[in-house]
Structure 1
Amino acid sequence: MERFSGQDASFLYMETPSVHMHTLKIAVIDLPAKIPYADVFDLVRVSMESKLHLVPRLRLRPVEVPGGLHHPMWVKDPNFNIGRHLYRAKIAEPGGHREMDQAIAEIASTQLPRDRPLWETWLLEGLADGGVVLVTKIHHSLADGVASATMLGEVMNVERNHDDLDARNPTWVPEPLPSRRTLIKDAFRDQREQLGAIGPLMRRTVKGSVNVLKNMKHRATAVPYPFVTPRTVFNRTLSPRRSFASTSLPLAEFKAVKRAANVTLNDVVLATVAGALDQFFDARAEHLSRPLIASVPMAVPSSDDAPRTAGNRVANLFTSLCNDISDPLERLQKIHAVTSQSKEIQQQLGMDTLLDWSEAAPAGLYRWILGAFSQSGLSDIMPPAANLIISNVRGPDHPLYVAGARLRAIYSVGPAIEGIGLNITGWSYCGDLSFALIADADAIPDPHLITDALRGALDELQQATGITP
């Protein structure tokens, strides 16, 4: 039994009937000519069951503390049955990419139940080319992007012929759910330990803030501030329904622009998304009052920097997409300058300062603040902290296999949150940078208008940097 970290718990607290805090991990798989089971669904079940011991948290369920006295606990699920986590559905005819995306959107539109471990996997059949799709829904409280990438490496194989379906696994020993008395007693004990951290954390926060103010006059580039954002169609109170779109582009083209412009790969991703969103707003005849602000999740290293398959260690960097600059190269360079300055401010404040505050803050107050905002409807009145979320995660550069079947493509995306109804994630795999987009379906019924525009936006960047597409 272990307690949720403050940041892990925050993703539970933010959830409402219309704010779904799960992430999606999608694998498009080429089935071999023969599989060792009569039904591919049985193959998925046996394969996943053989790997569960490698990611222990997949068998832990949340247990709330009475009265919300502290963050919930992760407890071994005494009723764990993998059959409660596996589902299957059929992709509508003719079984193309758009039909696949629509099936994924429907899966994304429902929440995970909390009476079991916070994940489920869907097998989607019916692709016209004979492939299948595995869609895994993982609650954000269970893992962030870095942990998910490590998790993927644990449960997939790097060799086609590696077969561990019949391997003997450690015996699973569940535990009874803790009593009300135990939960309350442990909550008071842990709260006392938390209170002792507030003094040193306050001093460290003040010191970091002073460093930021001291260096303000030396900044060559102004940085954006949260809530100083334009209002767009996707910055509103969320509906329960989600729309989804995906596409893949050659990673080498992004790297070529990166080298030619002497910027980072993340800068190129941001500029490409900015160009695609320009086309989206032009098609809507919508004029932005100021440049879009993106929230960019950044991994916060731990003290031991050991690989982890669970938990969250994320800081959010705010940067401008510089939509007020029409020239693609000039915009890319400005995005690089702004993002570099924002990273410097994060380092001056301390990358782990906000993480530590999420640990030190009283759980009841933390829960109330996050939950109250998610349910308040203020998103229809006040500007959002950021307009959208953009992530870029480095995935494996070698093929992965499950039970001898090769993963053709991998997509991943985090949730849309209250007031920020658009999340775009790039995930690299085997020479491709695959983009997945999740949006509030009432705001953006067809997000392919954005993913289809990524190709043209990247072409413009290549031309602007002297590269022939």
Structure 2
Amino acid sequence: MGDGDPLIPPSAVDVDLSAIAWGADRTMSDFETGMWRMEEAQPQLRSPIVAVEVLDHAPDWDRLVEAHEWASHIVPRIRMRAVEPALHLGNPVWSVDPEFDLGYHLRRVRLPAPADFDHALRMCRHLATEPFDKARPPWNALLIEGLDDGRAVYVVKTHHSITDGLGGIQMMTLLHSRRPDHTPDKPDRRPAPPEHLSTVDAFNEEALNELKRTPGRLARLVRGATDLATSAIVRPFDTAAEVLGYANSLRRIVTPPAREGSPLLRTRGLGRWFGVLEVGVPELKAAGHAAGGSLNDAYVATLLGGFRRYHEELGRPVESIPMGMPISMRTDSDPSGGNRFAAVRFNGPVAEPDPAARVRQVRKIVLGLREEPALDALDLAAPVLSRLPTYVLANWYLSQSTGLDLQASNVAGVPVPVYLAGAKIERMFPFGPAPGCAAMATLVSHVGVCCIGINLDTAAITKPTLLMRCLQESLDEMVALGAATEGV
């Protein structure tokens, strides 16, 4: 999350096959293993990542199929399924599906007339709520044609265990091109050969991987203990203060927000509803800067303003709502794919009617959270959590996530025009998973436009069209703040 640098996709002819390492890890991380298994015990914890691209016209179907086939050669993970080790003793192992069928994963449908974007969005929502067949690679794509204005919609759903939001954008760029024309001479390689990996094979492979990882973990543990002991001798008072500071930070990170959730949003269920907002990147940046904040501060403040209006419309105003935010932990040296983020929770200031004051409140909170020493606490605890019985882990996680009324994510997108099988991508709306929370909002910047996808739990948000109207009004108010300041 944040105002990171946007991704600039390479031209297909410039792809360096030796440099592509998207999803190179053979086994799931401890954190990814938890996400993969928890939904078996609690369906509310299903965590698909959905990307909805609006195309100026329907792409050439044969070229689209060819692009996916090519991508599966370049990124072997596209052809891989997750194989559980025997008795769940260890983390799942990624293995090339011996029966990989691109026709199962990539499909097309034509909407009956009359049809508009809202009709297509409903179909995207239905795709998102269907559980994955875990015997196959956990992704699906659908081309939706037949919109009255001649446009088309391309939607991709991937399981969160494969990647986080930024990793998903990185993978999508492999299917995009910076020109509409066909590229017949792009580099290629043979697809990964199929593997017949059994649960016993997965157990043996994961056990070997665990043995390989153990020396490094022990070395880091010993090094950390040695450094701490040395510091305690040389700088006893400073070391004690650091330990106490980390302990206090850990308490703040682990402890849920002080306030209970909104009475209006208390129920949780399996129903989902998709809505979209869009605003120019310069306009939202100007709004943030007008109040001494960033684009992300203005974005979060806009969401909170919309929730304030929603509660007031229904006669149940609240002071704040508990919310969560993923913060990217990726560095330039990290490979593409996978999950590298930390989650933070706080009380979102809803009651403040002044958008500028709300931006400043959000900025103060977010800056403080980014500096927390224990920001990586969940990642450090993942090896222990992933070893808990699935039912125990799922119920613990659900108890934490259902305490959040809103989650907000911001992912860097693509700043230049891109095409998919000859069709221009006009918008790219992201819909992050909402495992247990009432609403999940995700922003991706696309060619100068902030594309915001809102994923709602319909048991919590019983009037989704009203909430979307309130969010749009809050966004208009935020844009007006920036425009008024620029005009001074």
TM-score range, shorter chain: 0.7 to 0.9
Q: Determine the structure 2 residue equivalent to 1:399.
A: 417
Matches within 5 A, 1:319-398: 319-345=346-372, 348-349=373-374, 351-358=375-382, 360-361=383-384, 363-365=386-388, 367-373=390-396, 384-398=402-416
What's 2:323 paired with? 294
Cα distance in 2 for partners of 1:272, 1:171 equals: 48
Alignment of 1:82-121 (within 5 A): 82-91=102-111, 93-121=113-141
Residue 448 of structure 2 corresponds to 431
Q: In structure 2, what is the Cα distance between the partners aligned to 1:455 and 1:252?
A: 17
2: distance between equivalents of 1:110 and 1:202? Answer: 45
Counterpart for residue 56 of structure 1: 76
* CA 1:215–1:19: 2 relative to 1, 3 Å: closer
CA contact (8 A) 2:404 2:438 kept: no
Summarize deviations over 1:97-146 as a string: whole Å, max 9, x none.
32222222211221111111110001111211111101101100111111
Q: Are residues 92 and 276 of structure 1, via their aligned partners in 2, closer, same or farther at CA, if it must alter by over 3 Å?
A: farther
- SS at 1:271's partner residue? helix
In 1, the alpha carbon distance for the partners of 2:388 and 2:249 equals: 33
Alignment check: 8 A CA contact 2:50 2:158 kept: yes
Deviation at 1:254, TM superposition (A): 0.5
Preserved contact between residue 74 and residue 189 of structure 2 (Cα < 8 Å):
no
Cα distance in 2 for partners of 1:213, 1:374 equals 22
Evaluate the alpha carbon distance shift between residue 76 and residue 131 of structure 1 in structure 2; reply closer, same or farther with a 3 A threshold: same
More helix by share: 2
**Distance across 2 between alignment mates of 1:157 and 1:411:** 18
For the residues of structure 2 that align with 1:292 and 1:209, how far apart are their CA atoms?
Answer: 31
In structure 1, what residue type is equivalent to 2:51?
Answer: K
Q: 1:210 aligns with which of 231, 240, 244?
A: 244
Amino acid at match of 1:231: G
TM-score (normalizing by structure 2): 0.82
Give the letter for the 1:371 counterpart: A
Q: Name the amino acid aligned to 1:258.
A: G
Report the equivalent of 1:128: 148
Matched position secondary structure for 2:351? coil
Change over 3 Å in CA distance of 1:235–1:52 after alignment to 2:
farther
For 2:477 and 2:418, the matched residues in 1 are separated by 32
- Which portions of structure 1, spanning 4 or more consecutive aligned residues, are displaced by more than 6 angstroms? none
Which residue in 2 is equivalent to 1:219? none
Q: Does the residue aligned with 1:147 lie in a helix, a strand or coil?
A: helix
Letter of the aligned partner of 1:416 in structure 2? A
Q: CA deviation at 1:94?
A: 2.9
Quote how far apart the aligned CAs of 1:211 are. 2.3
Give the 3 Å change call, closer, same or farther, for CA 355–224 of structure 1 in structure 2. closer
Counterpart position of 1:157? 177
Across the aligned residues of Structure 1 and Structure 2, the Cα RMSD in angstroms comes to 3.1
Check if 1:179 corresponds to 2:202: no
CA contact (8 A) 2:257 2:345 kept: no
Find the aligned partners of 1:405 and 1:78 in 2 and give their Cα distance: 32
User: In the aligned structure 2, how far is the partner of 1:80 from the partner of 1:295?
Assistant: 37
Alpha-carbon distance change, 168 to 446 in structure 1, aligned in 2, over 3 angstroms: farther
Answer yes or no: is 1:230 the counterpart of 2:250.
Answer: no
* Structure 2: runs of 5+ lacking an equivalent: 1-24, 229-239
Q: 2:294 aligns with which of 252, 261, 264?
A: 264
Residue 3 of structure 1 is matched in structure 2 by 27
- CA shift for structure 1 position 93: 4.3
- CA distance 1:453–1:202, shift in 2 (3 Å): farther
**Is the CA contact 1:62–1:117 (under 8 Å) kept in the aligned structure 2?**
yes
Q: Distance in 1 between matches of 2:409 and 2:340?
A: 14
User: Once the two structures are superposed, what CA deviation does each residue of 1:342-371 show, in whole Å capped at 9, x if it has no partner?
Assistant: 1111xx22x44432332x326431644332
CA positional deviation for 1:411: 0.6
Q: Deviations over 1:213-240 (max 9, x none)?
A: 6789xxxxx999524343234443322x
Give the letter for the 2:379 counterpart.
L
1:320 and 1:335 in contact (8 A); partners too: no
Given that 1:224 and 1:293 are in contact with CA atoms closer than 8 Å, whether structure 2 keeps it comes out as no
User: Judging changes above 3 Å, is the alpha-carbon distance between structure 1 residues 237 and 190 closer, same or farther for their aligned structure 2 residues?
Assistant: farther
Distance 1:315 1:264, change over 3 A: same
Contact 2:79 2:97 in 1 (8 A): yes
1:274 paired to 2:304: yes
1:453 correspondence with 2:484: no
1:26 shift after superposition: 0.8
Distance in 2 (CA, whole Å) between partners of 1:352 and 1:4 is 18
What is the CA deviation profile of residues 135-177 of structure 1, one whole-angstrom value per residue up to 9, with x for unaligned ones? 101100111111112112222111223x236757311132322
2 CA distance for matches of 1:311 and 1:257?
A: 33
Unmatched tracts of structure 1, length 5 or more: 217-221
Q: Deviations over 1:61-83 (max 9, x none)?
A: 10011111111111111111101
Counterpart-to-counterpart distance in 2, 1:101 and 1:446:
17
Deviations 1:11-41 (A, max 9, x none): 2123143432111011111127xx7xxxx44
Provide the C-alpha distance between the structure 2 equivalents of 1:17 and 1:328, rounded to a whole number of angstroms.
37
CA–CA distance in 1 between the matches of 2:140 and 2:100?
12
SS of the equivalent of 1:449 reads helix
Change over 3 Å in CA distance of 1:231–1:200 after alignment to 2: farther
Amino acid of the structure 1 residue aligned with 2:48: H
Give CA-to-partner distance per residue, 1:419-460, whole Å, 9 cap, x none: x13111111101111111112233335534333333321332
Query: What SS does structure 1 have at the residue aligned with 2:43?
Result: coil
CA contact (8 A) 1:20 1:110 kept: no
Q: 1:405 to 1:214 in 2, by over 3 A?
A: closer
1:5 CA displacement:
0.8
Q: Evaluate the alpha carbon distance shift between residue 165 and residue 325 of structure 1 in structure 2; reply closer, same or farther with a 3 A threshold.
A: same
Normalising by structure 1, report the TM-score. Answer: 0.85
Matched residue, 1:169: 188
User: How many percent identity over aligned positions?
Assistant: 23
Change (3 A) 1:201 1:319: farther
Q: What is the one-letter code of the residue matched to 1:149?
A: I
